[in-house]
Each structure stands twice: as structure tokens, then as C-alpha cells.
Structure 1
């Protein structure tokens, strides 16, 4: 039996091999003129996702600066490719009858089903069941999380989907418009969420997409903005990443959430890529001449 020291060395060697392969994929992706869906683009990103979801512990923060910079570049490239894939597929759906019945054709539909199930379970575990109003920030052209939650779990909840891109909202809106009942409960609003203020106080729950602001600095700013304007006692569910998955999506650390009460952090070990972080804004009340906060 190998000693713990040898096992550690083997793990380090494997991590170095994985990072070397990720580096080569990054170089290949960087040379592509367009990240729209194609055989080459699909193959490269499929390979990348498989590497980043291997059951291997990699602390990206402990890697050399050049590898961390490569990771930041990959997140941007992955974000662009994901948006183009969703836009391409949403446009296709709008050309066929009953698009909502064909969501299963989306390449990562099964992953979204698992993610929505996870989100719903985490919310229910903390008393958020059938909320009246939910905001989804960064919904994109294929708002699968909202649609799955609305049709499978939260069947009376109203969803407001926020995205900065009107073209993305337009194709998403047309998909949902094919179902009269769902259309009544799901709206698409074109705003930079940093410009949305008092309205954020309307929601029982806010969901923040992983690609809503892709740099650490932008993510921290958006978290602070949401905290300022969301309702006291409201919950925010943030998508994050851990380990090699941090090459695909931005990481939200607990230190980024100091203004919130952290309720739950879940890091999947299956093919679901995103971690789920649930936080709550403290309820502040005035006692004598000072404000005190209670996270209950």
C-alpha cells in the first residue's frame, strides 16, 4: 500500500497533467475566430468540462499566477461560448412548434434538471418553498433554471428574469410565450442589474447566475448592490465553483459574502458544475439610538 506521502505526490502529478491539458485546450480555443457552436468548438469545450469535473482536488488559488490568469481568460471564453450556444439553440427552438416541449434537445438539459433540483432542495431546506416572487439575474437567451423551477417545482411563483441583453431576452420571451400559463408568471426585463434598486426589494428570493459578472471585482460589486436593495430577511442564491471547476466559472468566496448570513454551501461532485451558495440578508431594526441586526 502506498504511503500518504506517495499518494500525495501521485495526486500532485495528476493535477499537473490535468492543468497541462487545460492549458493546451485554452491555447486551441484562443485561436478560434468564432466561438459559435461547431464541431471543433463543441469538442474542445466538452473535453474541457470533462477535465474540470474529474474527482481531483485542485486549489486554483494556490497555482502559479500565470495559471490563475489562464483560468480568468478561460472563464471569459467559456462565458462567450455558453451564451452563443444558448442563443443559437433558442433561435432554433423558436422556429419549431412547441419549443418548450423540446428543451430536452439542449445538450446540457440534464445538467440543468439536476441543478434546478439542487437549487429547489437547498431553498426548501431553509424554509423557502413556493415563494411569491423570484428574480433571476443573468437569465440569458435560454433561461432553463427559471423554466424548470417554474414548471417542476414552483408552480405558482412569479419569475422576473433580468438580463442586460435585449436580444437574449427577446428569444427567451418568445419561447415562454408559447405557454399562456407560464407567460403570465414569467417576465423578461432588460436592465443592468446595477441600475435596478428599489425593485430588488420586491423579491423573496434572488438567483444570481454564474456568468452575471465574470471577474472577481465585478462579482463583489454586484453582491454588494443586491445586498443594499434586497428585502430584509430575503435570500440570495449564488452560483459558484470549486476546484478545477474554477477554470469554467467564477468563484464566490465566503469573504465576498460578509454582509450576508451564509446559510448553506454545496459543492457537487457529479456532473453538475456549479456550486450553490445560499445567503440571507439580515433583518435590521432600531433599538434605542442604534441599529441592530438579526439574521433570523
Structure 2
């Protein structure tokens, strides 16, 4: 059998080959005693990301039930591992007097820079230039998107970062606190977005992180809740995934966005993982 690496020489990697290799990596990840950053953990997830960004024609909607179960498990494992990696690095950065000057030490920093630039361009092209107030739901211990947006793209915007994990918010705030100007524009709120109601109406733009709502049912509930309370005509930017990237993150389809006007859907073909779905709350 040809290897996945050999198959990259062809235009598309065969779906069967890709799934078989992903299932092998999933089995290896399941055997790990811990998902905390280590040489073995980092190697397995790096292999996985490289596989899932190869060109392929895979459509996760049509995967057999056993592969769908594996995919759901893999998304959960990826989310857990990502959280541990971010927490370790954010805690490490707080040891520096100026942690914001060392963000590039984070392994995926360049990826976030590309994604934030892409997202700002999509917002700009749809008439969103310098929003007054932005919410980021699921900001985590390394709120890189908010930081990059606030320092490079939205230099007068106020950001509220929502996360369910108090420890994540605490360490994220420690990183921001080293910059008085940035701290004045960036707040951290520990809560479940499903418990935030009228406040959602304050924001011009709401970002929904890819791992908020780990399965279709949860994601639909969260989208419905945000739509109910956000302002009429407000903008929601939803991170999704496409093709084999759907083994790493949940997928949001256009059909999931009832009550929204879809403005833009962008699927990357480079090393950026997340698709960007931009919608506007319909005005009744």
C-alpha cells in the first residue's frame, strides 16, 4: 500500500488511506497516559494536523458510523490537548516581565496571525472596519486572536473574552496586564455563554471559537442562544472546519445557521485549520 506521504505527489489523497492513517493516530493517542505537552504528544498531534491539511476530497457527512464515532472522540482529544498546551505556554509566558513580547514562542502563533489577518479581511470586506465592542466566546488561556486583533487590526475596539474556565481567564489576564493600554480595552469573563443573555446585545461582532460546542447538538443550541440575544444586524463570526480538517474541529454547515444571513464562507487550503463563516443576524 502506498503511504500518505507518497500519495501527496498525486492531486488528492485517497479518502480510505487518509482515514486509515488517522485511525492509527487516534489509537496511539488513546494509549497515552496524559495529553499534556510532551515529545510523544506533540509528535502525534503534529502528524495528525499534517494529515488533515493534505488535499483530499473527503466529506465527513458521509463517513460510516464507526469512523464518525472515532472522529467525535478525536475532536474531544484534540480540544483537551490544545487546552493543556495553551495553559502550559500561557503559564510559562507569565514568567517574563513583558509576556506579550514573547507570544511568538507559542508553536502555533504564526497560524493565529494568519487566521486573524484572514478574519479581519473578511470582516473588512463586509463593512466591519473598527467595531466599538467585540466578544470572543471560548478565548482560553492564550487569547491570541483577541490580542492580535486588538494590537494589529482593531486598535480602538473593546474586547470581552468569555471562557468557562476561571484558571484560563486568570492566566490570560496576567499576560494582558503587562500592557496598560491593552488591559484597558480587554476584559475576561468566567461564565457559560448559555448563561449570558441581554449582554450579548452589546456587541457589534461576536467570535465563536471552534471548540465551543463540541458536537452538532451543542453547537446548534449555542448558535440559537447567541442569535436570540445578539443585536439585530449584529455580526457573528463562526469558526468551522472543512474536509479532513473536520477530524480536528466541529463542522458548522450553512443549514445550521437558521435566522442568520450568510455573508461569507471561506475554507483555507494552506496551514490554517479553521474555516471562517461570517453571518449577520437577520432583521425581522
Cross-structure match for 2:155: 155
State the superposition RMSD in angstroms. Answer: 1.1
Q: Residues 150, 12 of structure 1: CA spacing in aligned structure 2 closer, same or farther, 3 A cutoff?
A: closer
Which deviations, in whole Å up to 9, do the C-alpha atoms of 1:41-95 show, x marking residues without a partner?
0000000000000011211111211111111110000000000000000000001
Distance 2:63 2:190 in 1: 38
Distance 1:259 1:28 in 2: 41
Cross-structure match for 2:125: 125
The Cα shift of 1:97 comes to 2.1
Q: Residues 11, 127 of structure 1: CA spacing in aligned structure 2 closer, same or farther, 3 A cutoff?
A: closer
The Cα shift of 1:18 comes to 1.2
Which deviations, in whole Å up to 9, do the C-alpha atoms of 1:161-213 show, x marking residues without a partner?
00000000000000000000000000000010000000000000000000112
Which deviations, in whole Å up to 9, do the C-alpha atoms of 1:126-174 show, x marking residues without a partner?
1111100000000000000000000000000000000000000000000
The Cα shift of 1:15 comes to 1.8
1:89 matched to 2:89? The reply is yes
TM-score when scaled to structure 1? 0.91
Count of residue correspondences = 275
The Cα shift of 1:224 comes to 0.1
Cross-structure match for 2:100: 100
Distance 1:88 1:40 in 2: 16
Cross-structure match for 1:164: 164
User: Where in structure 1 are there 5+ consecutive unaligned residues?
Assistant: 1-9, 284-292
1:29 matched to 2:29? The reply is yes
Q: Residues 18, 173 of structure 1: CA spacing in aligned structure 2 closer, same or farther, 3 A cutoff?
A: same
Cross-structure match for 1:186: 186
The Cα shift of 1:11 comes to 7.6
Q: Residues 70, 11 of structure 1: CA spacing in aligned structure 2 closer, same or farther, 3 A cutoff?
A: farther
Distance 2:114 2:128 in 1: 18
Range moving further from structure 2, 59-68 or 235-244: 59-68
Cross-structure match for 1:288: none
Cross-structure match for 2:20: 20
SS of the aligned residue for 1:83 comes to: helix
Cross-structure match for 2:77: 77
Which deviations, in whole Å up to 9, do the C-alpha atoms of 1:81-138 show, x marking residues without a partner?
0000000000000012210000001000000000000110010011111100000000
**Which of the two has higher C-alpha Rg?**
1
The Cα shift of 1:259 comes to 1.2
Distance 2:216 2:101 in 1: 37
SS of the aligned residue for 1:55 comes to: coil
SS of the aligned residue for 1:130 comes to: coil
User: Where in structure 2 are there 5+ consecutive unaligned residues?
Assistant: 1-9
SS of the aligned residue for 1:142 comes to: coil
